[in-house]
Amino acid sequence: MPKPDADPTVQLELSVDRSSPVPLYFQLAQQLEAAIEHGTLTPGSLLGNEIELASRLGLSRPTVRQAIQSLVDKGLLVRRRGVGTQVVHSQVKRPLELSSLYDDLELAGQRPATKVLVNKMVPASAEVAAALGVPEDSEVHRIERLRLAHGEPMAYLCNFLPPGLLDLETAQLEATGLYRLMRAAGITLHSARQTIGARAATPAEAERLTEEAGAPLLTMQRVTYDDTGRAVEYGTHTYRPSRYSFEFQLLVRG
């Protein structure tokens, strides 16, 4: 029986531009990722050893390793000592990131719309103060929004933001998502702690989402942090489970 020589070492054309301001390791990582995405590097195929790869590209081994490591961190490659580096044979391509409901909907082709119900400054309650790490009763932004898709209510969003971070104009909030506004204001979102649960809708909640009282609702609370660890947003959301569910990817920390 002929052995189906699986996992062959792939020879592909790589090159780097030393005059570019883009770091060399990043150029290499991008090309490798593109090759994986494009299918040139098939799952299970070996990448060829680092030393040889480095000399072929005119790079040093640390630089090549840095490129490979970044893809390993992304979950695209696996290193095996004594074996080599190979492409993960995963069905899942891109791990989901910290997502914005607005972006998710837009990407899915559902024409999202936002109706701003409240947009004002209020004193922080104990709960909000604890979440945002600000003094109790200090002023914070309070935003209440109804998110619609195809004209149908999909979620009720209540958010709190620390003062001074951002100008929040109702018109902008109706035109795009909160995260996009924050990024545009130069805030680098880094991580978020979320709690997802479910409960029966109260009459008021049911009314807002055009559900019936007692209908199941999906609830989410989230505190978002920027790259310095500051809390930049606290939100309490309720979703209609028939219209929305959370989908994401968790990674195990090595």
Partner DNA sequence: TCAATCCGTATGTCCGGACAATGTGACTTC
Partner DNA sequence: GAAGTCACATTGTCCGGACATACGGATTGA
Q: What is the CA radius of gyration of the chain?
A: 24
Question: Minimum distance from CB of 232 to a copy of itself (Å)?
Answer: 11
Site string for a copy of itself, 14-43 (x = CB under 8 A): -----------------------------x
- Rounded Cα–Cα distance for residues 150 and 203 (Å): 24
Buried b (16+ CB within 10 A) or exposed e, 243-254: bbeeeeeeeeee
The helix/strand/coil state of 208 is helix
- Rounded Cα–Cα distance for residues 53 and 28 (Å): 11
Q: 81 contacts which partner out of a copy of itself, DNA, none, CB within 5 to 8 A by kind?
A: DNA
Q: 73 contacts which partner out of DNA, a copy of itself, none, CB within 5 to 8 A by kind?
A: a copy of itself
Site string for DNA, 38-77 (x = CB under 7 A): ---------xxxxxx-----xxxxxx-xx-----------
Q: By CB under 7 A, is residue 222 in contact with DNA?
A: no
Angstrom distances, CA of residue 69 to CA of 21, 24, 32, 61, 65: 20, 14, 12, 12, 6
Instruction: Give the torsion sign (CA, 29, 35, 39, 43).
Output: negative
Which of the residues 87 through 116 are near a copy of itself (CB under 8 A)?
88-92, 95-99
Question: Minimum distance from CB of 97 to DNA (Å)?
Answer: 20
Per CB under 8 A, residues contacting a copy of itself are 43, 62, 73-75, 78, 88-92, 95-99, 133, 189-200, 214-218, 223, 225, 227-231, 241, 244-253
